Amino acid sequence: MPDQKKYTDSGIEIKKLYTPSDISKASTPEDPGSFPFTRGVQADMYRGRLWTMRQYSGFSSAEETNKRYHYLLSQGVTGLSVAFDLPTQIGYDSDHALAEGEVGKVGVAIDSLEDMQILFEGIKLEDVSTSMTINATGFILLAFYVAIAKKQGADLTKITGTVQNDILKEYAARGTYIYPPKPSMRIITDVFEWCTDHLPKWNTISISGYHIREAGSTAVQEIAFTLANGKAYVQAAIEKGLDINIFGKRLSFFFNAHNNLFEEVAKFRAARSMWAKIMMDLGATDPKAMMLRFHTQTGGSTLTAQQPLNNISRVTMQSLAAVLGGTQSLHTNGYDEALNLPTEQAAGIALRTQQLIAFESGVPDTADPLAGSYFIESLTTQVEAAAWKIIEKIDALGGSVSAIEQGYIQNEIANSAYEYQQKIESGEKIIVGVNKFISAENTSPPPFKINDDIRIFQTEKLEALKKKRDIQKTAECLETLKLKALSGENIMPAVIDAVEKYCTLGEISDCLREIFGEFN
């Protein structure tokens, strides 16, 4: 019987056996912490400091989410990660007609500084690193966060965290955009500029491959499209006159971890090498500005509603891939998330998965433990080569913005998603419990439900806020914001002033809709 060929999910052929000859063409891998950082961005990696253990959480109201944050902190998370509901993500207050049915459903509803204060009540922002998964309105949520820090008397130079702020992948894969690409890029570079001067330890963007992968891309496409987007952001910042060696140190990335353990490890290693070379080509001379630092989340699209407890094993495999690949931060999904938002029990198990890897597995004890594996080194080289080919196509189309406008990236992701689903339906790709090893009994865990009255609750809060705030001051702030937007000045000071006067997220978003328009 002839040997059946095997391939990674990106279509890279896997040989039956790997030998030294498979890596003879590659140079000897450099030490961790050295350019191009294939083996990691720190010389001692996790021996010096473990990755930040985050749990992505947000639901219902700020009051309810705050309770979950205090629970997670008590269980050992070392960083918070905020999920926002859809109205917040696309710039609508909870009382807007288009918000009906979505308030508090896939994340927490944040309409004003008042909500943000409640969200972080009892949490000192100087003591915790916060990641906020928000893009089109990311600059407003950052302004809320800064305003709270100031109210706490915090030293802004000590505040750490990340705002996702990555709009290009929204056009390509996710859809929560508001403004057209050009003004959106302007807002992002305004954030870069303002944070360089006022929030030096804050990661100003988390260039995201996660949602590209969730939309159906391959591992190779994930890093190619993500790094191409990153290149576009860097070029926009340089055109604005910013110093690549300064803002480059505050760029971060956000990747997905799927089930093909070795391809995922190779993907992370290849991405570091590629980004270092991209930044050097763009003019970076400081090694820290060439380092690809990234957060990882286990694959939401890999979770199955069938036999949901199997997802604990999937999340463990994916977490191992992230740690073996050298992630700086990790979120592990709850096993029940294919059915509903994670219950407290599921979130606890997900966190324990990270802690087991950190303290019992021995994986963090040495830097890049899979380095030197004939298979891993060969696969890293092949993943990188395949990703460069895609980036060359994007460059030929005029860069990421142009490639998105022409539909190239969206079409490539859609085609990959279709091919992958075909393989599942034909049985070529086995998903345990879905198309093989199916169980007659399929017990589901008790669901986590959101109170349907949350929109009423949020609307009443908004009404009360608008009655007690200074109407004249809010109107003046919004008018100033319009003038700044029209003049081309950095809008961040005006946005921070507006949120401190209790202008709402929807009001600020609408103000800029008048100036920039909407992207359809």
- Residue 260: the pLDDT is 97
Instruction: Tell me which amino acid residue 159 is.
Output: I
Q: Is 111 in contact with 93 (CB distance < 8 Å)? A: yes
Task: Express each pLDDT in 45-96 by its tens digit.
Answer: 999 999 999 988 999 999 999 999 999 999 999 899 999 999 999 999 999 9
pTM of the model: 0.94
Helix (H, G, I), strand (E, B) or coil at 256: strand
Return the structure tokens found at 8.
């990674």
- Residue 449: the pLDDT is 75
DSSP string, 334-400: -TTTTTSSPPHHHHHHHHHHHHHHHHTS-GGGSSSTTTT-HHHHHHHHHHHHHHHHHHHHHHHTTSH
Phi, psi of 95 (to 5 degrees): -90, 0
Task: Express each pLDDT in 81-94 by its tens digit.
Answer: 999 999 999 999 99
Helix (H, G, I), strand (E, B) or coil at 284: coil
Burial class (CB in 10 A: 0-12, 13-18, 19+), 226: buried
- CA dihedral 305→307→312→318, nearest 10 degrees, is -60
- What's the mean per-residue pLDDT of the chain? 95
Q: Which of the four pLDDT bands, split at 50, 70 and 90, describes residue 341?
A: confident
How far apart, in whole angstroms, are the C-alpha atoms of residue 359 and residue 349?
Answer: 15
Smallest CA-to-CA distance from 10 within 321, 205, 266 is with 266
- Looking at the DSSP bridge assignments, the partners of residue 54 are 79, 331
**Helix ranges, 43-112 (H):** 62-74, 86-89
- Outline where DSSP puts E strands in 383-472: none
How far apart, in whole angstroms, are the C-alpha atoms of residue 78 and residue 49?
Answer: 12
Return the structure tokens found at 56.
């992505």
- Residue 223: the pLDDT is 98
How far apart, in whole angstroms, are the C-alpha atoms of residue 129 and residue 202?
Answer: 9
- CA dihedral 12→18→20→23, nearest 10 degrees, is 10
How far apart, in whole angstroms, are the C-alpha atoms of residue 293 and residue 207?
Answer: 10
Residue 181 makes CB contacts below 8 A (sequence gap 6+) with: 167, 168, 171, 401, 404, 405, 519
- Residue 416: the pLDDT is 98
Task: Express each pLDDT in 280-310 by its tens digit.
Answer: 999 999 999 999 999 999 999 999 999 999 9
Task: Express each pLDDT in 474-490 by its tens digit.
Answer: 999 999 999 999 999 99
User: What b/e sequence results for 174-209 when a residue is b if at least 16 CB atoms lie within 10 Å of its CB, and e otherwise?
Assistant: bebbbbbbebbbbbbbbbbbbbbeebeebbbbbbbb
Phi, psi of 253 (to 5 degrees): -130, 165
Task: Express each pLDDT in 136-158 by its tens digit.
Answer: 999 999 999 999 999 999 999 99
Does 461 score more than 60 pLDDT? yes
Does 276 score more than 60 pLDDT? yes
Q: What angle do CA 212, 389, 8 make, to 5 degrees?
A: 60
In the 8-state DSSP scheme, what is residue 97? G
Q: Is 170 in contact with 176 (CB distance < 8 Å)? A: yes
Torsion sign across C-alpha atoms 334, 98, 518, 407? positive
Does 133 score more than 70 pLDDT? yes
Q: What angle do CA 101, 518, 247 make, to 5 degrees?
A: 100
| Residue 429 region by backbone torsions, left for phi larger than 0, else alpha for psi between -120 and 50, else beta | beta
Smallest CA-to-CA distance from 271 within 322, 318, 307 is with 322
